[in-house]
Amino acid sequence: MSGFEIERKFLVHKDRDFRSCAYSSSRIKQGYIGAKGATVRVRTRDDHAYLTIKGPSVDGGLKRYEFEKEITLDEAAHLFELCEPGIIDKTRYLVRSGKHTIEVDEFYGDNEGLVMAEIELANENEPFVLPDFVGMEVTGDKRFYNKQLRRFPFIVWRGTLPPEYR
């Protein structure tokens, strides 16, 4: 897969159930390899592995070029050894909402307590419907990029968010 990714990110309200709305879930482990101007990620998702390269964000964090290729689990294990410290560990839940799928990520480890929802769009102006558990938009806020969460985990700055999101 390659092309532009158009994505919006939101926080999930702590007191609202999203798990019962999910039709699928998977455990994700991902690490990052240093690359100037790009994000290079190795990811395992259940029994599959992927190498992803993302270009810099444009349009206030809404859009960026993305290349992704499936690799073997053995290749992923070797690439994890090249990753910078701080592995992201999360469960991703898939929730249908209108004609879209909302991806809800529940984080563990130093990012425990953070729950975010993402929606991918075909274009920047595409209309969409969000479930009631979705709250404040954080698109473009770099604190919520997985690569940033690796370096500056949620445990360090969670107190800066309104109580309904921490």
Catalytic residues: 32
List the one residue out of 66, 119, 111, 69 whose CA is nearest residue 88.
111
Tokens of 141: 């806020």
SS3 166: coil
- C-alpha distances out from residue 97 to 14, 112, 118, 128, Å: 19, 25, 12, 8
Q: What gap in Å lies between CA 20 and CA 89, rounded to an integer? A: 21
